[in-house]
Amino acid sequence: MEKWCALRFFSRRGSETWTARFPGSVQRLRIEPNVLDHVRRFRQSKLSAAEAGGQLFGTVTSELVQVSGVSGPHRGDERSRYSFRSDPRAAQRKINRFAARGLAYLGEWHTHAEEIPRPSGSDLGAIREIVDRSQLNTSTVVLLIIGLAEPDADVGVWYVGPLGDFLSLT
């Protein structure tokens, strides 16, 4: 059973950079404006819009997990109004390309057709599968979901904690 822990999510006024502190740690998560701008382009604001998603990339230090790169959606993704599954071959190609530029794979993003996004059971299962089956270069795996609310309230962020549990930063 997953354990959830909440933390208030912070944004700086006048900036699109999002920052949150990981509970019990000096390490922060920062999502850069280019990443949020890219993801928000695929918001499901129309009734006919399908979920979209992709991968998150960046760097990790003892003080900061910086999400500065993003990919997706990919042509071969499975997409519907209420589900999304990334094309694994296209995702791996992007992971390899970003790694060649010095950016590590940090997790996944996708959209939800709800105001305030929350991960579904299949979202959590997909992240669990990534953690269990992948050779990751970092201990941080992030799930970013964009909903329909106004910016600042439209972002949901979860991560896999040190004990393998899913924790919320929103």
List, in sequence order, every residue forming a beta bridge with 42; answer none if it has no partner: none
Range of the domain at 22: 16-168
Closest CA to 94 of 116, 109, 111: 109
What pTM, to 2 d.p., does this model score? 0.88
- Number of domains present in the structure of the chain: 1
**pLDDT one-digit tens code per residue, 92-144:** 999 999 999 999 999 999 999 999 999 999 998 888 888 887 776 666 789 99
Whether 51 sits among the annotated catalytic residues: the reply is: yes
At 156 the three-state DSSP class reads: strand
**Catalytic residue chosen out of the listed positions 2, 32, 51, 114:** 51
76: domain CATH number is: 3.40.140.10
Strand (E) or helix (H) holding 19 = strand 18-21
Residue 4 lies in a domain: no
- Answer yes or no: is 1 within a domain: no
Q: Identify whether 52 is part of a domain.
A: yes
Whether 5 is in a domain gets the answer: no
Domain presence at residue 157:
yes
